[in-house]
Structure 1
Amino acid sequence: MELRHLAGFVAVAEELHFGRAAERLRMAQSPLSQQIRALERELGVRLFERSTRSVRLTDAGRALLGPAKGLLADASVVRRTVRAAELGAVGRVAIGFAGASSYSCLPVLSRAVTTQLPGIELVLQGQTYAGEALGQIAGDTLDMGFVSLPVRRGITARVVRVEPLLVALPDSHPLAGRTEIALTELAREPFVTFPASRGSAVREATVQACHEAGFAPRIVQEAPDAYTLLALVGAGVGVGIVVESADTIRLDHVCFRRLAGADVPVLPIALAWRTGNRSAALQAVLCVAEQVLPTPPTYIE
């Protein structure tokens, strides 16, 4: 059974018109008809009921359609795998991720790599903070990772997302009824944030934004991750500054409000890798990442 005969059958079955199917396959109608007849002879059944006005699938044709599509899809995967192997795009690529920002980017990249690079296994390694990935990339225990800027010497990074910062506060807070909150209005508030010792870019951005607003944040408790931070906010321990993607984490008694003003603090999220890493598999994944995670046009270095 030839794949081209199956491809012709699927085209006719979907179009129910030999002329349109031939045009879709970029071939003449007569050779397509010959392919269908050859497939019918091989299977010993009629696949279509033909008349001068219509083309309809027989019961046998309907039964064949699903398996035929599956075989063609499998053949496509085989072709891509062989081509990838020829180009060296096989192997394992370990990617580090942390925080709500990478959760939005990672599924997009992972699905694209699975589809376009079937010869590559993308190994996902979660970290608590984006800063932890930089040391692992430099030490070759990670091939690439989602990080915050700036990066250290010897690491290349490309921004893939720009995250505005939001205020997370208890829904019972006096400011919860507002749509926007000026950072200066939080000067007397207790803050919940991430530990200073773990390389949290959100912690650093929080402190810097508060200093630029004319005050030092009064940090009353630290949280190891975004979920815990928001749980503490919901419990009334304090307010928090989080990236926009954290809004996807839904907890009772927590609300998110935009920061007011023309210069809302933002946190660039980048995909980083060791500059000297010449792995063909890594380079292939980076090419896919450039397609599906382009640098935001609003980002200016």
Structure 2
Amino acid sequence: MDLDLRKVRYFVAVADELHFGRAAERLHIAQPVLSRQIRALEDELGVQLFVRTKRATELTSAGRQLLDDARSLLASADATRRRVAQAARGPKTFTIGFMPGLTVTAAVRAFGAVHPDVGIELIRTTWDDQVDVLHDGRVDVSVVRLPIDQSGLTVRPLFDEPRVAMLPVGHRLAGKPVVDITDLAGEHLLQDPDAVPEWRDIAVELRTRTAQPVPAMRSVEEKLEHVAAGRGVSIVPLSVATFYQRSDVAMVRVESLAPNTVCLAWIAARRSRLLPEFADLAQQVPWTP
């Protein structure tokens, strides 16, 4: 049995909204049509995906499993369409993703000098989507910060750089030339502890199970606003700290922190000759953390 991607898209909309009416409005179709399509999908799969009552719509266990798989399935289908269309047009554009704090100018100039006929586009990424933009086809290559899920990717290292602590300017450790990671044991970390593995061994709030929730943050600027307000500290690569300097946030070097590795990544199955060419050039130009 082949999955109908249109029905899968309808399913994701209902799963996101948990409301057939709102999902129908989002999809610009009539609610009865949407209900019939979901029932047809359930019949094809032989499972119930939603439990509907007068008060709520909820996913079943089968529905939750389908939702886990559906997003990557749809992203892969969209990426395939983009790549096929691009292959038909020829390599007229080349899109590069890059993380905050990184400057790709030298690599872009070197590539442009070799391929003046190829248009170069740039997309700034985040910790959350630096790999997603590769899988969904938004970029051809991405300058990423490890760790990432490297499944299905070709990854080439570019350079390592130190990580530093960002503190409120009035913090007791601000102004010190260097601190140890243990000096920060009592602080609240404004990011996922998995991003700073060294934190798990020393963090007081993790050992005492008093960890405060980490606010949702979509950018470095938002993170630094929370730091400046005294809500916690953040560990970032040196290039990020340097690029986003501000007078109410102090940068302090931290001992016992492993460096951050910056790499170039692209989809391993891609056959474009431009990918290894750009990678070779990127490894030859200077990078300034």
Structure 1 SS opposite 2:162: strand
Residue 235 of structure 2 aligns to a residue in which SS?
A: strand
> 1:194-250 CA deviation, whole Å, 9 max, x = no partner?
xx5xxxxxx5332x1111336456455432211221122122222111111122212
Distance in structure 2 (CA, Å) of the matches to 1:126 and 1:111 = 17
Number of the residue aligned with 1:171: 169
| Amino acid in the other structure paired with 1:258 | R
Q: For the Cα contact (< 8 Å) 1:165–1:242, is it kept in 2?
A: yes
Question: In angstroms, what is the RMSD of aligned CA positions?
Answer: 2.5
**Which residue of 183, 205, 212 corresponds with 2:201?**
212
How far apart are the structure 1 equivalents of 2:94 and 2:261?
23
**What amino acid sits opposite 2:132 in the alignment?**
G
Percent identity between the aligned chains?
25
The answer to whether the aligner puts 1:292 opposite 2:285 as a matched pair is yes
2:160 aligned with 1:159: no
Contact 2:131 2:148 survives alignment (8 Å): no
Q: Which residue of 2 aligns with 1:269?
A: 262
Partners of 1:215 and 1:117 lie apart in 2 by 53
1:45-194 to 2 correspondences below 5 Å: 91-100=92-101, 103-104=102-103, 106-129=104-127, 131-147=128-144, 148-193=146-191
Q: Which one-letter code corresponds to 1:191 in the other structure?
A: L
The equivalent of 1:279 in structure 2 is 272
Q: What TM-score do you get using the length of structure 1 for normalisation? A: 0.57
Alpha-carbon separation, structure 2, partners of 1:183 and 1:287: 36
Letter in 2 for 1:186: L
TM-score (norm 2): 0.59
Distance 1:235 1:214 in 2: 21
2:256 equivalent to 1:258: no
Structure 1 residues 269 and 204: CA distance shift in structure 2, 3 A = farther
8 Å CA contact retained: 1:98, 1:126: yes
Cα distance in 1, alignment partners of residues 138 and 109 from structure 2: 23
Provide the rounded CA distance (Å) in 2 between the counterparts of 1:110 and 1:176: 37
| In structure 1, C-alpha distance between the alignment counterparts of 2:96 and 2:279, rounded to whole Å | 11
Q: Which amino acid aligns with 2:240?
A: A
2:74 counterpart residue number: none
Contact 1:151 1:157 survives alignment (8 Å): no
Whole-angstrom distance in 1 between the partners of 2:107 and 2:115: 11
Query: SS state of the match for residue 99, structure 1?
Result: coil
CA contact (8 A) 2:159 2:261 kept: yes
- Shift, 1:125, TM fit: 1.4
Counterpart contact for 2:188–2:205, Cα < 8 Å: no
Are the structure 2 counterparts of residues 140 and 216 from structure 1 closer, same or farther at C-alpha, using a change threshold of 3 Å? Answer: same
How far residue 289 of structure 1 moved from its aligned partner, in angstroms, is 1.6
Correspondence for 2:234: 240
**Match in the other structure for 2:219:** 225
- 4+ long deviations beyond 3 Å: 212-221
Distance 1:157 1:216 in 2: 35
1:257 Cα shift?
0.6
Opposite residue 251 of structure 2, the aligned amino acid is F
Deviation at 1:255, TM superposition (A): 0.7
Instruction: Check conservation: 1:165, 1:267, Cα contact below 8 A.
Output: yes
What stretches of structure 1 of length at least 5 have no aligned partner?
1-88, 197-202, 297-301
Q: Distance in 1 between matches of 2:203 and 2:222?
A: 28
Work out the CA distance in 1 between the residues paired with 2:99 and 2:220. 10
Distance 2:190 2:219 in 1: 11
Deviation sequence 1:255-285 (CA, Å, 0-9, x none): 111112xx42222111001112111233332
Question: Kindly tell me: are residues 96 and 188 of structure 1, through their superposed partners in 2, closer, same or farther at Cα, counting changes over 3 Å?
Answer: same
Contact 1:163–1:266 at 8 Å: present in 2 too?
yes
Contact 1:133–1:142 (Cα < 8 Å) also in 2: no
Q: Which runs of 5+ in 2 are unaligned?
A: 1-89
